[in-house]
Amino acid sequence: MVRMVCIIHLLLITMVANAQKVLLLYEGRPPGNKTDENKEELVRPEKGRPVVKNVTLPTLTLFKPVHPDAGRGAVIICPGGGYLNLSIEDGGYDIAKEFADAGINAFVLKYRTWVEGAYDRFRDIPLQDLDRAMELLYSNAAQWNIDTANIGLMGLSAGGHLAAMGSIPGKLNHKPAYTMLIYPVISFRDSLTSPRSKTRKTLIGDETSVAEKIAYSPELHISKNTPPAFVVQAEDDSTSLVGNSLSYYEGLVAHGVPGRLLIYEKGGHGFALHNKAEGEDWMPAALKWLTLNGFRRDAGSEHEIRNKK
């Protein structure tokens, strides 16, 4: 087991193709883990998307822009998977490559997932990993050419819940500049939780108090200090009900927070970059929104757009 951990460690700190670098979030045993045991597994089913299961050693994978005129913005991407696994390829790496091609430093967070008996208190673990990822970006900002006032969070499905939780003041030590929530599970309220969704049950359990459900429902904690948000969802999503995105956007508008809501009529859940049902990608709209709000340098310009404060 020790030898296996060492091999994994060596792989994680090795430079890989396409300007990627994989970093361990923590030195030694991650806080909250009960053991050093590692059962991580990449599953590639004949049908369906590849997923990573049993993540107990979280990592951060950096995709740096290669263009000489790249800006200094950065985004941390939280893949989905109901906190049980991570759709880290199409819901992580593929998206990070798009951001890097657009001149944005992109980081894919492989946060810890539910593993029976692995943690002291799992409900705190994913947000703890996100906080640590933000800390790494801040501490390495000069080396990675990152403007710390321009670090955003993106989350897909359950990763959207994690990113939205990170936008609540005080949840992270460093406030994100913006969030991008893609077919997100946002609310843990009964009225907005689909029977198909495993996100709430995995993180805090279904048999919990009203107060706990409210505490883990970011749409109920929106204020004028909430970061701007770009939100994408399909109306026919049966895993994360479209009311999640609608309620979040309504909260942004009510408090005067900039936001963009993109609702597809068709598309279901988990379409990653490309909505096959409508033959459309949301990334161009996302990049346009980032430029409009000053979070991305406009293509071909000689100066960065001033960040909105």
Residue by residue, DSSP assigns the chain as: -HHHHHHHHHHHTSEETTTEEEEESSSSSPTTBS------EEE--SSS--EEES--S-EEEEE---STT--S-EEEEE--STTTEE-TIIIIIHHHHHHHHTT-EEEEEE-----TT-BS-GGGHHHHHHHHHHHHHHHTHHHHT--GGGEEEEEETHHHHHHHHHTSTTSSSS--S-EEEES-----SGGG--TT--HHHHHT-SS--HHHHHHT-GGGG--TTSPPEEEEEETT-SSS-THHHHHHHHHHHHTT--EEEEEESS--S--TTEETTTTEESHHHHHHHHHHTTSSPPTT-SSPPPPP-
Residue of 37, 28, 34 lying closest to 2 (CA atoms): 37
The answer to whether residue 17 scores a pLDDT higher than 50 is no
Overall average pLDDT of the 18-23 stretch: 77
Q: Which of 196-200, 296-300, 303-307 ranks highest by mean pLDDT?
A: 196-200
> How many other C-beta atoms can be found within 10 angstroms of the C-beta atom of residue 281?
14
Overall average pLDDT of the 253-274 stretch: 98
Relative to beta strand 51-53, strand 41-43 is antiparallel
Percent share of the chain, pLDDT over 70: 89
pLDDT of residue 272: 96
Rg (CA), the chain: 18
Of 296 and 194, the one with more pLDDT? 194
Secondary structure of 245-278 as H, E, C letters: HHHHHHHHHHCCCCEEEEEECCCCCCCCCEECCC
pLDDT of residue 71: 78
pLDDT of residue 156: 98
pLDDT of residue 21: 92
Residue found by looking up tokens 């805090």 in the block: 204
- What does the block give as tokens for 233? 């969802």
Overall average pLDDT of the 150-159 stretch: 98
Question: Would the CA dihedral through 30, 34, 37, 43 be positive or negative?
Answer: negative
pLDDT of residue 124: 95
The answer to whether residue 207 scores a pLDDT higher than 80 is yes
pLDDT of residue 298: 53
Backbone angles phi, psi at 96, to 5 degrees: -60, -40
pLDDT of residue 1: 42
The answer to whether residue 142 scores a pLDDT higher than 70 is yes
Instruction: Domains for the chain: give ranges and CATH numbers.
Output: 2-292 (3.40.50.1820)
User: Residue 106 carries which side chain, given as an amino acid letter?
Assistant: A
Residue found by looking up tokens 């670090």 in the block: 151
Relative to beta strand 20-24, strand 59-63 is antiparallel
150-154, 184-188, 296-300: least confidently modelled range: 296-300
Overall average pLDDT of the 2-20 stretch: 42
pLDDT of residue 68: 62
CB 189 within 8 Å of CB 163: no
15-29, 37-51, 203-217: least confidently modelled range: 15-29
**pTM for this predicted structure:** 0.90
Q: How does pLDDT run across 57-110, given as a tens digit for each residue?
A: 999 999 999 876 677 999 999 999 999 999 999 999 999 999 999 999 999 999
Considering the chain, what is the average pLDDT of its residues?
A: 90
pLDDT of residue 67: 77
Q: How does pLDDT run across 218-244, given as a tens digit for each residue?
A: 999 999 999 999 999 999 999 999 999
